C-alpha cells in the first residue's frame, strides 16, 4: 500500500458531498469484500457506481486512504451488527441466538466472502499499521463483549464461579473467525455451525446446573 502519509484535516462536507462520499465508500467496501484489496482498483470503484474520477479523488487522495476508510466503515458495520446480540449478553439463550444469527449470515450472500473485518486483517495487518491497530481494537471490543456477558452469567449464577471467562471468550472469537474462514473456502455454512456449536458446548459445560 506504500508509505503512509499523514492525513489532511477533514473538511466539512455538504449533505450532497457526504452522500457522494458514502456512495464511493459503499462501492469500495463491497468490491474489497468480494475481491480483496489488491484486486480492487480505483477504476473498479468508479465503474461500480458510475462516479467521476474527480469525485473519488476529491474525497480520497489515493487508494491507501480509501482502503483505510473502508476498514473504519467495515469495523463500524460489523460491531453494530454484533452489538445487537452481544452488548447486553447475559444468558445462554442470548448466546444461542447470537450463534443462530451468525450461521444464518454465512448462508446468505454477505457471508460468502468471510468476515468483513477478518478478511481485511489477513490482507492488511502486515502492510498498514493504522489498519492493523484499528482492526486489533475492533477484535478487542468484540471479545470483551463475550467476556462481559459471561461475567454477567457468573454474577447471575447461570455460569459457575470457577469458569475461566477469559478463555471462553477467546474460544468464542476463535470459533467464529475460524468458522468464517472455512465457510468462505467451502462455500458452506455447516463449518460455521460446527465451530460455534463446539465453542458453545464448552460454555454449556461450565453452566452451574452441570455441577
Q: What CATH number is given to the structural domain containing 177?
A: 1.10.357.10
- Separation between Cα atoms, residue 200 and residue 211, nearest integer Å: 17
What's the pLDDT score for residue 178? Answer: 95
Grid cell 451488527 — which residue? 81
Grid cell 491507501 — which residue? 64
Count of CA atoms in the C-beta half-sphere (13 A) of 35: 12
Range of the domain at 116: 68-210
Contact 181, 91 (CB under 8 A): no
Instruction: Check whether residue 57 and residue 90 sit in a common domain.
Output: no
> What pTM did the predictor assign?
0.86
Instruction: Check whether residue 86 and residue 149 sit in a common domain.
Output: yes
Instruction: Check whether residue 123 and residue 175 sit in a common domain.
Output: yes
Task: Using 70 as the pLDDT threshold, list the residues of the chain that sit under it.
Answer: 1-13, 108-112, 211
Instruction: Check whether residue 166 and residue 195 sit in a common domain.
Output: yes
Instruction: Check whether residue 134 and residue 196 sit in a common domain.
Output: yes
Nearest to 102 by CA among 111, 89, 91: 111
Q: How many structural domains are present in the chain?
A: 2
Instruction: Check whether residue 54 and residue 72 sit in a common domain.
Output: no
- Separation between Cα atoms, residue 178 and residue 98, nearest integer Å: 16
- Separation between Cα atoms, residue 128 and residue 67, nearest integer Å: 10
Instruction: Check whether residue 52 and residue 113 sit in a common domain.
Output: no
What's the pLDDT score for residue 10? Answer: 52
Instruction: Check whether residue 95 and residue 193 sit in a common domain.
Output: yes
Instruction: Check whether residue 150 and residue 119 sit in a common domain.
Output: yes
Cα 128 from chain centroid (whole Å): 17
Instruction: Check whether residue 88 and residue 149 sit in a common domain.
Output: yes
Amino acid at each position: 500500500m506504500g508509505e503512509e502519509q499523514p492525513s489532511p484535516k477533514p473538511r466539512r462536507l455538504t449533505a450532497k458531498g457526504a452522500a457522494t462520499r458514502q456512495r464511493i465508500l459503499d462501492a469500495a467496501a463491497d468490491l474489497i469484500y468480494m475481491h480483496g484489496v489488491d484486486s480492487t482498483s480505483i477504476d473498479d470503484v468508479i465503474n461500480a457506481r458510475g462516479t467521476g474520477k474527480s469525485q473519488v479523488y476529491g474525497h480520497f487522495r489515493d487508494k491507501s486512504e480509501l482502503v483505510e476508510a473502508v476498514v473504519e466503515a467495515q469495523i463500524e458495520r460489523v460491531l453494530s451488527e454484533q452489538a445487537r446480540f452481544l452488548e447486553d449478553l447475559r444468558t445462554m439463550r442470548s448466546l444461542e441466538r447470537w450463534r443462530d444469527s451468525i450461521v444464518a449470515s454465512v448462508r446468505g450472500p454477505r457471508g460468502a466472502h468471510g468476515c468483513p473485518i477478518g478478511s481485511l486483517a489477513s490482507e492488511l495487518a502486515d502492510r498498514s499499521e493504522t489498519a492493523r491497530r484499528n482492526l486489533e481494537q475492533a477484535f478487542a471490543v468484540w471479545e470483551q463483549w463475550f467476556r462481559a456477558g459471561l461475567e454477567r452469567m457468573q454474577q447471575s449464577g447461570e455460569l459457575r464461579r470457577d469458569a475461566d471467562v477469559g478463555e471462553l471468550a477467546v474460544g468464542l472469537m476463535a470459533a467464529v473467525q475460524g468458522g468464517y474462514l472455512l465457510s468462505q473456502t467451502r462455500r458452506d455454512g455447516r463449518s460455521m455451525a460446527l465451530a460455534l456449536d463446539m465453542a458453545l458446548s464448552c460454555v454449556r459445560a461450565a453452566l452451574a446446573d452441570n455441577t
